[in-house]
Structure 1
Amino acid sequence: MATRLPAEVADDLTRLVRRWHQLPLDQALSVSAPVRTLLERYADLVHPGIPVPELGPAALPDQLTVLAYDALAASRITAADVVGDLGELRRALP
């Protein structure tokens, strides 16, 4: 049985994804690096040695959601840490 994301993580992911989808492509591309860095960090927690595929800026929020879920489900990170990471990303967006 799948577990749900903690409410505070789900709320922050929703805010980040909503903001990400408002960005013009050139801005999304210019701020993709910090998102990719976080993706890789979460991936290393639960899938070490497996690179995260580069699917373009439109897929980054979905990839982040999946990897945050995986890391939380595996108890490799706390909800508070994810919320902090998501807040930093959101504040870095133009």
Structure 2
Amino acid sequence: MTPSRAGSPTPHEVSDELRRVVGRWHQLPLDHALSRMPSVRVLVQSLADRVAAARGVPATAVPDLGPAVVMDQLAVMVHDVLAAGADADLEHRLADLRRAL
């Protein structure tokens, strides 16, 4: 999934960095992607927890749907964090993830 900028409330810098992470992820060999899944899932869960806290609801576990879906989960959580007003230093966290991939 590549996020779109048209009509997006996502800051340009965050959108660009998310696009870079997704692009990098799609270049990884499967064995390498599988070895990096834990770090991606930690970020996804961290963002989900932040959204839950901002909304005043209990945090729930984001299901592990595998490497083919994890970037979609990340994109959704980035959107949800921004929609909840729970900015989590997204640009830097995404850049750190991209470098770790």
Query: What's the TM-score once normalised by structure 2's chain length?
Result: 0.83
Task: Tell me the number of residue pairs that the alignment of Structure 1 and Structure 2 aligns.
Answer: 90
Query: What's the TM-score once normalised by structure 1's chain length?
Result: 0.88
Indicate the structure with greater helix content: 1
Residue 3 of structure 1 deviates from its aligned partner by 5.4
> Which ranges of structure 2 fall in alignment gaps of 5 or more residues?
1-6, 53-57
Measured in 2, the distance between the counterparts of 1:46 and 1:83 equals 16
Q: Deviations over 1:30-87 (max 9, x none)?
A: 0111110011100011234221011101111110010011011111115xx1000011
2:64 to 54, 57, 60: 54
2:96 to 81, 84, 88: 88
Report what 2:26 is aligned to: 21
**More divergent stretch after superposition (4-13 vs 46-55):** 46-55
What do you get for the CA RMSD once the two structures are aligned? 1.5
> Which ranges of structure 1 fall in alignment gaps of 5 or more residues?
none
1:69 to 79, 84, 92: 79
Q: Percent identity?
A: 51
Q: Would the aligned equivalents of 1:3 and 1:73 in 2 still touch at CA under 8 Å?
A: no
Q: Which runs of 4+ in 1 moved over 4 A?
A: none
Q: Would the aligned equivalents of 1:20 and 1:28 in 2 still touch at CA under 8 Å?
A: yes
User: Larger RCO: Structure 1 or Structure 2 (Cα < 8 Å, ≥ 6 residues apart)?
Assistant: 1
Q: Would the aligned equivalents of 1:12 and 1:86 in 2 still touch at CA under 8 Å?
A: yes
